[in-house]
Amino acid sequence: MNLKDTYNKTADDYFKDHKDDNWWKPGVDKFISFLNRESKVLDVGCGTGIKAKYLIERGLNVTGIDFSDKCIEIAKREVPEGKFIVSDIKDLSNIRDLFDGLFAQASILHIPKKEVFDILRNLVAKLKTGGFFYIALKEKKEGRKEEEIVIDNDYGYEYERFFSYFTMDEIKSHLINLGMEICYEKFTTSGKAPWIQVIAKK
């Protein structure tokens, strides 16, 4: 399974399917409330730019990165006022700036759990002191696997993706171990998916 190929394949359908989602808005609005107008935000795993558009409309200066060329193509088309770069979350060497906010919704959940702490550490290094980090992950439920490959065919064709699942305490522990202060936490359900949203301050 190649996740990049999956998102290149599903990008158009994913955009149409998710552009009207709203489960995330209370948590994202909280994140926005911690920032000043024109604050610089790095949208990590920005996909087709849906959340970047929301952030920009509320006065933030957003740079989005995603390893899917097709997703970035759609983001540039749909959100011309944003800055979008084809870049892998595992290699931030081409991201030179420091940011007032980091935004990682439904992206870190595609990273194997053994790699997540190092990914978070590299991301936090791109955050200014006093900056805020928003993360949304799928919650690990009792009896559920910690990691799995999920095969879907809801767009009329089959595709597969890797997911890792976290408890609230797990992700908070990672952030605290990186010297972050937890400012907000919320459990939300969207359809069948239970989500964790966390905001931490550096």
pLDDT in tens, the chain (202 residues): 699 999 999 999 989 988 998 999 999 999 999 999 999 999 999 999 999 999 999 999 999 999 999 999 999 999 999 999 999 999 999 999 999 999 999 999 999 999 999 999 999 999 999 999 999 999 998 888 999 999 999 899 999 999 999 999 999 999 999 999 999 999 998 766 799 999 999 9
Angle at 111 between CA 25 and CA 9, to 5 degrees: 75
H-only helix segments in 34-166: 50-57, 69-78, 113-124
Q: How far from 141 is each of 12, 116, 117, 134, CA to CA, in Å?
A: 30, 19, 21, 21
Q: Which residues of 111-132 are buried (b: 16+ CB within 10 A; e: fewer)?
A: bebeebeebbeebbebbeeebb
- pTM for the model: 0.95
Provide the CATH number for the domain around residue 31. Answer: 3.40.50.150
**CA–CA separation, 39 vs 62, rounded Å?**
8
Q: Give the domain extent around 185.
A: 3-201
Instruction: Give residue 191's pLDDT.
Output: 65
DSSP labels, 79-99: -TTSEEEE--TT--TT----E
Query: Parallel, antiparallel, or unpaired for β 127-138 and 99-105?
Result: parallel
**Tens digits of residue pLDDT in 49-80:** 999 999 999 999 999 999 999 999 999 999 99
The two three-digit tokens of residue 3, written as one number:
């996740």
User: What is the DSSP secondary structure assignment for residue 160, as one 8-state letter?
Assistant: E
Q: How many domains does the chain have?
A: 1
Q: Assess contact for 103 and 115: CB atoms under 8 A.
A: no
Instruction: Give residue 190's pLDDT.
Output: 75
Q: Assess contact for 10 and 32: CB atoms under 8 A.
A: no
